[in-house]
Amino acid sequence: MKDMTLTRRRLLAGMAAGAAMPALPRTLGATAAAMPVLRTEELSARLLPPEYPETRLWSYAGRSPGPELRLAQGARLRRRLENRLPAATTVHWHGIRIDNAMDGVPGLTQDAVPPGARFDYDFALPDAGTYWYHAHEKSYEQVARGLYGPLIVEEPDPPEVDREEVLVLDDWRVDPATGQLAANFEMPHDRSHAGRIGNYITTNGAQTLELAARRHERLRLRLVNASNARIFRLGLMGLEGWLMALDGMPLETPAPLTATLTLAPAQRADLIIDVIAEPGGEAFLVRQERDGGYAQAVFAVAGQAGAARRDAPGALPPNPVTALKAPGTARRLMLHMEGGAMGGMQGAMLNGRAADMREIAGANQFWAFNGMVGMPDAPLAELDRGEEVRVAIRNDTAFPHAMHVHGHHFREIGADGARGPWRDTLLVDRGETREIGFVADNPGDWLFHCHMLAHAASGMMTWFRVTG
Ligand code: C2O
Ligand code: CU
């Protein structure tokens, strides 16, 4: 990493200060709720540097990222969604192996909650780890507007660290003329290419998050990629440590962080890091881009937390995920991904009948799973509760896709049969076929979709049913 150009990210070139926007009235309202309230509301936030006006966002509880929800493993999360937005919404609790009725998928597990209405979420948290919550109605728009927040489930016996930082990464697409979010959330070009990629990157809403640290301090970093489509590639400078968990689930053995960490949309990573930079110096979480490294977060190092580095941490305790059985017994499914720009798809089923690519594009749709554009009436599979399934995901498109399974975690099954870490979102690069396996132990109807949210909205969405 030594020869990397490390510059603090400036605002994108050519951004000119725009006219100030009228202040947005904040909706206020009293509630006599038996449950803690999670209110969605509009927000005018200081997102950009001071020469720009405040940016109008959508928020949970007047903040973006929304408030950190932190509970103990095994506890129940109870929140009354009060929707004060001008649009219907739902909350999806990403990565939680949740009661299906609480999964927050409009049209599948609940109706979208109209403006002024409410919905009570109440469910158990079976697994410790780093999760997040986000809107699932028009998520390509609502997540881009800022409707997401971190959800932390604590281990009963957490690892020994000096402190913990939750870092929620996002990229925003800002119109340089106005300082407001670019208004077209349904651009055909985004949908057919890499999705809505932003031009202003933040951590916890700050362009370069600045944190204090001491030499030899041990931190747990919980990273969440809340962006619509950006794949973050991250490295460390002045910090050394271990990858402890992915998508909430502990690795069997902590993995030393030597190579770049790839964090696709919706993925999370738990790190334990030691500050090795000298007092008076700086350490960095580095974002690697084609033209070099950028500071995603800066740690100003002052003082010492100890005389020397500590021993390597042991693994986090495993979560109670149902183990895979012997190979050979599993039900085998195929998910064939096609379409998009430069994908060569000729046609597919659209709304129940065959359509050619021109007609599909005319409907602002671009992608197909197994020859079907968008959410099919029939599930990809009906699985008996407890049945083991293997899904071969074949990416026949020109883009990578972050495939997310609701309600379950899965393991990747390598060509040699080796089993990868438990995850809920898998990045499948173009041209790749990757196999995942899991035991369908959570009854209900579950989405299976690309978490590049523009892709999900333009064809890359299916579902499966677990019965019994
Ligand atoms: Cu994080 Cu269906 O989503
Ligand atoms: Cu995709």
Which atom of ligand 1 has the smallest separation from the CA of 449?
A: 2
- Confidence (pLDDT) at 262: 98
Q: What is the DSSP letter of 106?
A: B
Beta carbons of 355 and 349 less than 8 angstroms apart: yes
What is the whole-number distance in angstroms between the Cα of residue 368 and the centre of ligand 1?
Answer: 18
| Domain with residues 26-154, CATH architecture | Sandwich (2.60)
- Confidence (pLDDT) at 48: 97
The tens place of each residue's pLDDT in the chain, 468 residues long, gives: 333 344 444 434 334 333 344 444 444 444 444 799 999 999 999 999 999 999 999 999 999 999 999 999 999 999 999 999 999 999 999 999 999 999 999 999 999 999 999 999 999 999 999 999 999 999 999 999 999 999 999 999 999 999 999 999 999 999 999 999 999 999 999 999 999 999 999 999 999 999 999 999 999 999 999 999 999 999 999 999 999 999 999 999 999 999 999 999 999 999 999 999 999 999 999 999 999 999 999 999 999 999 899 999 999 999 999 999 877 789 999 999 999 999 999 999 999 999 999 999 999 999 999 999 999 999 999 999 999 999 999 999 999 999 999 999 999 999 898 999 999 999 999 999 999 999 999 999 999 999 999 999 999 999 999 998
Pocket of ligand 1 (CB under 6 A): 92, 94, 134, 136, 266, 404, 406, 447, 449, 451
What is the whole-number distance in angstroms between the Cα of residue 403 and the centre of ligand 1?
Answer: 9
Reported in sequence order, the residue ranges of 340-455 that DSSP labels E, i.e. its strands, are 347-350, 353-356, 367-369, 372-373, 382-384, 387-395, 401-405, 410-413, 419-423, 425-428, 433-440, 444-450
Residue found by looking up tokens 């009293």 in the block: 30
CA 120 from centre of chain: 23
- Confidence (pLDDT) at 439: 98
- The order of strands in the sheet holding 55-60 is 55-60, 37-45, 76-83, 118-124
Specify the pTM: 0.93
> What CATH fold (topology level) applies to the domain 163-304?
Immunoglobulin-like (2.60.40)
Contacts of 259 (CB under 8 A, 6+ apart): none
Element (H, E) at 213: strand 209-215
Q: Hey, whose CA ends up nearest to atom 1 of ligand 1?
A: 94
Q: Hey, whose CA ends up nearest to atom 3 of ligand 1?
A: 94
Q: Helix, strand, or coil here: 100? A: helix
Q: Report the alpha-carbon distance of residue 78 to residue 123 in Å, rounded.
A: 7
Residues of the chain with CATH 2.60.40.420: 26-154, 163-304, 327-467
CATH class of domain segment(s) 327-467: mainly beta
- Confidence (pLDDT) at 76: 98
Q: Count H helices and E strands in the chain, helices first.
A: 4, 36
For 436, list phi and psi in degrees, rounded to 5. -120, 155
